[in-house]
């Protein structure tokens, strides 16, 4: 249950616990305040007393929850949460954010992202974009019933050739998951700070054209580095250059092989990339 809440709200474990505490403390104080106010009326505890109690608690609850959320550092979350609740009460439906995943290979990160958002009503993995007709990610897209767009290099480099398809799918955000081509400026300008990538090394080291997959791990081992890791960053017009969002490191042992290091990196990718995307998407809602 806690994991589902983390996915739904796009928060980490600590923030989830603070949110639950805010709900509990705010609800408790709200209930006590409602009782105290009704005691001033000296009304008998009959049906009307309980009806008034429910009305009072409903009206007081947002105030108490927002107040408690401030010292617990959850004010922004509860402000957005209450706006959503009010919108639903008024009959306003919140449209899901459509995400496109760009991938060139097997698609293990793409699968983790898809799994993460399966039960999140406000996020929809709407499109898989791939430059390799034989890539494993296409089988994943088929199994998950997600539309695919196979792109051609010259057209893609042309800039705006595929923008129309992205617009047709109402894409709001792009996540690169093992995508090997540089993103053209036309797409970057259309999605400013809405395109992210995960790199299997601690940038700015071991970044740039040709630095991907096992090539990176081999270079790290050859150079006798003592640590590696992942970098999640925004995408700009250069390879592996955009502003860093998150870096997580792991040790590189003396007898490390390319395969063992790759496994460590995959664990970090699968653990942190979907959750980071969720946090970024929460800010767009």
Q: How many CB atoms lie within 10 A of CB 161?
A: 16
Beta strands in 23-117 (DSSP E): 97-103
Residues 104, 108, 112, 118, CA torsion sign: positive
Residue 154 has pLDDT above 80, yes or no: yes
DSSP type of residue 181: S
Q: What pLDDT, on a 0 to 100 scale, did the predictor assign at position 176?
A: 97
Q: How confident is the model at residue 47 (pLDDT cuts 50, 70, 90)?
A: confident
pLDDT value at residue 66: 92
- Residue 1: predicted pLDDT: 65
Tell me the pLDDT band of 173, cut-offs 50, 70 and 90: very high
Whether residue 93 is predicted with pLDDT greater than 60 in this model: the reply is no
Rounded Cα gap, residues 238 and 255, in angstroms: 34
Give 171's pLDDT tier (boundaries 50, 70, 90). very high
Q: What pLDDT, on the 0 to 100 scale, is given for residue 24? A: 92
Q: Is the dihedral of CA 184, 188, 190, 196 positive or negative?
A: positive
* Cβ neighbour number for residue 12 with a 10 Å cutoff: 12
Please give the biggest Cα pair distance in the chain: 81
Rg (CA), the chain: 24
Tell me which DSSP letter residue 117 carries. Answer: T
Name the more confident of 39 and 3. Answer: 39
Structural domains present in the chain? 2-89 (no CATH), 97-284 (3.40.50.170)
Active site residues: 199
Tens digit of pLDDT for each residue in 194-211? 999 999 999 999 998 888
7: confidence class by pLDDT, cuts 50, 70, 90: low
> What pLDDT does 194 receive?
96
Tokens of 107: 């698609």
Angle at CA 176, nearest 5°, toward 188 and 250? 125
Summary count for the chain: helices (H), strands (E): 11, 7
């Amino acid at each position: 249950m806690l994991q589902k809440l983390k996915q739904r709200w796009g928060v980490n474990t600590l923030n989830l616990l603070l949110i639950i505490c805010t709900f509990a403390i705010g609800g408790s104080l709200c209930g006590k305040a409602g009782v105290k106010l009704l005691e001033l009326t000296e009304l008998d505890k009959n049906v009307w007393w309980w009806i008034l109690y429910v009305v009072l608690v409903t009206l007081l609850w947002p105030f108490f929850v927002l107040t408690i959320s401030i010292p617990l550092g959850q004010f922004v979350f509860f402000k957005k949460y209450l706006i959503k609740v009010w919108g639903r009460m008024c009959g306003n439906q919140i449209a899901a954010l459509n995400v496109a995943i760009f991938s060139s290979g097997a698609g293990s990160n793409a699968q983790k992202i898809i799994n993460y958002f399966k039960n999140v009503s406000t996020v929809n993995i709407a499109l898989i974009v791939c430059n390799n007709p034989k890539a494993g990610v296409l089988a994943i897209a088929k199994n998950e019933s997600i539309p695919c767009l196979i792109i051609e290099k010259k057209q893609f480099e042309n800039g705006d050739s595929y923008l129309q398809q992205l617009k047709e799918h109402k894409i709001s955000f792009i996540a690169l998951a093992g995508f090997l081509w540089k993103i053209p400026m036309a797409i970057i300008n259309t999605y400013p700070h809405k395109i992210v990538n995960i790199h299997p090394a601690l940038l700015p080291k071991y970044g740039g054209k040709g630095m991907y997959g096992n090539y990176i791990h081999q270079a790290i081992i050859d150079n006798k580095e003592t640590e590696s890791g992942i970098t999640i960053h925004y995408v700009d017009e250069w390879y592996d250059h955009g502003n860093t969002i998150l870096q997580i490191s792991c040790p590189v042992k003396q007898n490390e092989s390319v395969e063992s290091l790759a496994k460590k990196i995959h664990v970090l990718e699968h653990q942190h990339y979907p959750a980071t995307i969720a946090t970024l998407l929460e800010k767009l809602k």
